[in-house]
Amino acid sequence: MSEREELVLAYRILAAHGVVDAYGHVSLRTAKNPNRYLLARAMAPELVTADDILEFDLDSNPVKDLKAALYLERYIHGEIFKRRPDINAVVHNHSPSVIPFGVTTAPLRPLFNTGAFIGEGVPTFEIRDFQESGDLIIKTPALGAALASTLGARPAALMRGHGAVVVGESLMLAVVRSVYLELSARLQMQAMLIAGPGGNVVYLNEREVAATNARQVSAGTWKRTWDLWCAKAQAQIEMEQKAKRRRRRM
């Protein structure tokens, strides 16, 4: 499978899990050149096909396809790739359940097995710290750099009143983390509600976080999940292609 085809699957998987809706995007650093990354042109994630994937330099300028409409927030990707040589994939989303944690002082905490990476810390990016006025969109390289500095070495950061950014050493890791960040936020809200004000929620401790993260990376825990999600996305794409061919014949 080509990098473009793999990235299309990532778009479809994120949409299928409600992590992205008509907005949000995912990028992949190219294997042949670490100073380039792939990202779709400006469009809804669920409609992305391999033909819609463009190549960018790390300043987030398209390498060709100079006339294509581009995501305003593409700087999120380029600026993180510049500062994180360990990272090869970046997701930006408006994942609904994480939004409340970005606008309150309640921190996201590691609550269950598949959300253990949250224990590495999920800081919140406050755009007001970096601009006098304006909207919440990361529309300049400087704002992208500021977000990347808030993210630091962590796997994810919340964006106050906006959404989140999630990164991974692989495309699989960035997508899996995005899906489980959304689920973990929802479960944490439910646990906090059940516990009530002052009630106790038991979170993973540091040793559990470290042991779980180590196992999940080394034992290939996510492969079963990833293969399942890719197979479903692939089946959906093939159905669409078949329908398109049928319409053309009519």
Round to whole Å and give the CA distance between 14 and 29. Answer: 18
Round to whole Å and give the CA distance between 143 and 60. Answer: 13
The DSSP bridge partners found for residue 25 are 92
Round to whole Å and give the CA distance between 223 and 249. Answer: 39
Round to whole Å and give the CA distance between 156 and 181. Answer: 9
Residue type, 180: Y
Catalytic residue list: 73
Residue with tokens 């990354």: 37
Q: Name the region of 104 (left: φ>0; alpha: ψ -120 to 50; beta: rest).
A: beta
**CA dihedral of 214, 157, 17, 176, whole degrees rounded to 10:** -20
The residue ranges of DSSP E strands in the chain, in sequence order, are: 25-29, 36-40, 53-57, 89-93, 124-125, 156-159, 163-168
Round to whole Å and give the CA distance between 221 and 218. Answer: 8
